[in-house]
Amino acid sequence: MDSNNDEALDIIVTNVVATFRTRCHLNLRTIALEGNNVIYKPEVGKVLMKLRKPKITASIWSSGKIICTGATSEVEAKLGARRLARCLQKLGFKVRFSAFKVVNVLAVCSMPFAVHLIDFTKNNRPIASYEPELHPAATYRIKHLKATIQVFSTGSITVTGPNVQNVATAVEQVYPLLFECQKPLCK
């Protein structure tokens, strides 16, 4: 992954969002009354269940669709999802773990240099957009990877994509563009 530079750039995955289905109807009231570490939100119609290890928050809907957030890797997300399904099984529902899919991966990375956002936007005109009145970062969207990169003027970037591989590729792609527009250090 460090074909562009001598030192390795640390890409830290901070959040992985995954969904799966239990193939059976879930009674939210039962889960809310008998489950451990649950928060019932009747106005929205879901139950939040938080697992301690791996640290995951799951939104459970009565249709049986569940969204898991908070994992730090794809493997962890799958582990957490399976553990959650087991918890629901213990509560008495006929749960069948199916259709597990990682939907979103969020990663952060820090460049060893500051970036001049105006030059960066000018060089990558239609792909990059920068509206300082709305958000202090410039947004760079890679269509074929379906990844969005937000570049801050300090050199930190956040990358969101459908899986970890895409995120890594996105960082590799954007690194040379950022390197061109780096800010000199003294200012």
Partner 1 sequence: MSRVALKCPNCGSSNVVEDDLYAQSQSVCVDCGSVVSEGFLANDPVGEVYYSHSAPQSKRPCSNLIKGLQRVRALCRVLRVNSEIEKLSQTYFEQAYNHKSFINVSLTKKEALAGSCVLISCRMHDWPVTVGTIAYLIDTDSGAVGAVYQETLNTLNICIPTLTELAAEAKELTKRALALVELAADSWIVTGRRPVPIMIAATYLSWQSLQPTKLRLKMTLDKFCQMTKVDKNRPAMKRVTEIKEMLCKLGNEIPWEKQEITPNNVIQQVEDILSYRFALMRKALKSYEDSLKADIQQCDAKNKKTMRTKTAELKTSSKTGSSVLETERANNGACDEPNWGKRLLFAPPCVVNPKKRKRAPSNQINVTGDEEISDSEIDSYIRTHQEVREIAMTQKLLCQESDNL
**Residues within the interface to partner 1 (CB under 8 A):** 118, 121-122, 125-126, 129-134
CB 107 within 8 A of CB 159: yes
- Report the nearest approach of partner 1 to the CB of residue 124 (Å): 11
Q: Which is nearer to partner 1, 126 or 184 (CB)?
A: 126
> Which residues, 6+ apart, have CB-to-CB distance to 82 below 8 Å?
97
CB nearer to partner 1: give 125 or 144.
125
CB of 141 to partner 1, least distance (A): 11
- Phi, psi dihedrals of residue 88, rounded to the nearest 5°: -70, -35
Q: Distances in Å between the alpha carbon of 142 and those of 22, 73, 169?
A: 34, 22, 10
Find the shortest distance in angstroms from Cβ 53 to partner 1.
Answer: 37
Closer to partner 1 at the Cβ: 2 or 180? 180
Report, in Å, the least distance between residue 170 CB and partner 1: 20
Q: Which residues pair with 106 in a beta bridge?
A: 15, 160
What is the DSSP code (8-state) at residue 9?
P
- Which residue's CB is nearer to partner 1, number 43 or number 133? 133
